[in-house]
Amino acid sequence: MNSVKYKRTSRPVSVHNPYLCRMKDDILYHFNLGTKTHNLPALFGDVKFVCVGGSAWRMKEFIEYMAAELGLQDPRSEYPNICAGTDRYAMYKVGPVLSVSHGIGIPSISTMLHELIKLLHHAQCRDVTIIRIGTSGGIGLEPGTVVVTKQSVDGKFLPKFEQLILGETVVRNTDLDYGLAEELLVCSEELGRFHTMIGNTMCTLDFYEGQGRLDGAFCMYTEKEKHKYLAKAKEAGVCNIEMESTVFAAMCKLSGLRVVCATLVDRLKGDQLISSRDVLHDYQQRPQILVGYYIKKQLKGLGVLQK
C-alpha cells in the first residue's frame, strides 16, 4: 500500500450556530475557559492535532508520550491540566497537539465536543485533525487488535446517530474519513509492531445490556440470544463495540473529526476483562503509538519537525 501524502489546505474549524457571533463572552463552562477571560488564539491557535479519549489519566500519559516523540519534552514540566478549575474533563497541550478526556458514553463526549469545537473555532485554528483514541470490545478479533473505524453504526447496525432536538428526531450520518483510515493503516504497516485493521464500530447506549453482556445487574436474555446478536453484528461488518462513536462520527461529518479505537477483549469468548493490568496497559498504548507515529509523520511533512 502506498503512503498518502499530507495535503496542505486552509480549512477552518466549522461551527453551525448563528448565535455565537452575538455573544460578548462564550463561556466554555466544562473547560473553565471563556472568550472574555482567556486569549484563546494565543493559547490554542497553533493546534493542528487533537486527540480525545475517555480517561483523564490516559490523556495525560498520551501528551507526555507526544512530548517525548516530538522532542518537546521538558524535564521540569508536569504538563498541568488546563481544565483544573473543573472536575468534568482534563486537557493537556504540548506544541501543536491537544489531548482531552471525554468521560464515558454519548452524553459526556457530546458535551465535551461542543465546547472543544467552539474552542478551536474561537482560537482561529485551521486544518485540525481530531482523533479519538480509546478502548473497545472486539468481535472475533485477537485481543489488542487496533481497529481504525471507517463507519460507526448503532445497535441495529445502521450508520446513523439519532438525537431528539426540540422534541423532534434528528438523524445524522456517521461516515468517517476513509482517507485518514488508510493513512493510519499505512503507519501501522511501517511500525510493524501490532495488527491493525479497518472496520465498522458499533456504538451502544450502555456497557452491559446494550452490548449483550451476561454479567450486569440485569439480564433478560439468554446466552444463546447474546451470541446470535453478536454473530449478526459480525456479519454486518462490525469489528468492535464502544459507547461514543456515533455522536463522535456525526460531529466528524459536520466538523472534520476522526476516530481510532483499540480492542481489549474478544466478546465472542467472554465478557470479563481477564487479562493482566500490564497486558491491558500494553493494549491501551497501541492506539497512542499509532496516532503518535501518524502525527509525527505529518508534522515532518509540513516541515514543522526535522526529517
pLDDT tens-digit profile of 156-179? 999 999 999 999 999 999 988 888
CA separation, residue 64 to residues 59, 69, 92, 96 (Å): 9, 9, 9, 13
CA separation, residue 30 to residues 89, 108, 112, 127, 275 (Å): 7, 11, 7, 24, 34
Looking at every residue in the chain, the average pLDDT score rounds to: 88
Domains contained in the chain, number: 2
**What's residue 138's pLDDT?**
87
Q: What is the C-alpha separation between 204 and 243, in angstroms, rounded?
A: 5
| Residue 19 dihedral angles phi and psi, to the nearest 5° | -80, -20
Whether 6 maps to a domain, the answer reads no
Enclosing domain of residue 35: 12-127
Q: Is residue 57 classed as helix, strand or coil in its secondary structure?
A: helix
Contact 6, 298 (CB under 8 A): yes
CA separation, residue 126 to residues 23, 62, 290, 301 (Å): 22, 22, 23, 17
CATH number at residue 31: 3.40.50.1580
**What's residue 253's pLDDT?**
76
**What's residue 159's pLDDT?**
95
Once rounded to an integer, what is the mean pLDDT over residues 119-130?
A: 92
Whether 50 maps to a domain, the answer reads yes
* 98 & 191 share domain: no
Contact 290, 193 (CB under 8 A): no
* 59 & 149 share domain: no
Among the candidates 78, 102, 127, a domain finishes at: 127
136: part of which helix (H) or strand (E)? Answer: strand 129-138
Q: What is the C-alpha separation between 59 and 154, in angstroms, rounded?
A: 26
* 40 & 152 share domain: no
Residue 66 burial (C-beta neighbours within 10 Å; 0-12, 13-18, 19+): buried
- Place 9 in a pLDDT band, splitting at 50, 70 and 90: low
Per-residue model confidence as pLDDT tens digits over 221-232? 999 999 999 999
For the record, the C-alpha cell of 234 comes out as 459480525
Per-residue model confidence as pLDDT tens digits over 282-307? 778 888 999 999 999 999 887 767 65
